[in-house]
Amino acid sequence: MEPIFYLLLPLLLVVAVILWLTESREQRIRRWYKQGMSQRCIADRLCCSRYAVRKVLA
């Protein structure tokens, strides 16, 4: 069972990185908001307006 784990681990890491790099701005806004980040903090982090963040979450 261990050899399979060592073969799958690099593949899973590559897939995770690809998913993270291709995440859209809207997906990041929703994820960060679900994690408890405020709309103002999200807007500051993405260099966009609070209105843009509010619009995505509506």
**Burial class of residue 41 (count of CB atoms within 10 Å of its CB; 0-12, 13-18, 19+):** middle
pLDDT at 1: 58
Per-residue pLDDT of the chain (58 residues; tens, 9 = 90+): 578 888 899 899 999 999 888 989 999 999 999 999 999 999 999 999 999 999 999 9
Specify whether the CB–CB gap between 46 and 25 falls below 8 A: yes
pTM value?
A: 0.69
pLDDT at position 20, please?
85
Please check whether residue 29 is in contact with residue 50, taking contact to mean a CB–CB distance below 8 angstroms.
Answer: no
Residue 57 near residue 29, CB atoms below 8 Å: yes
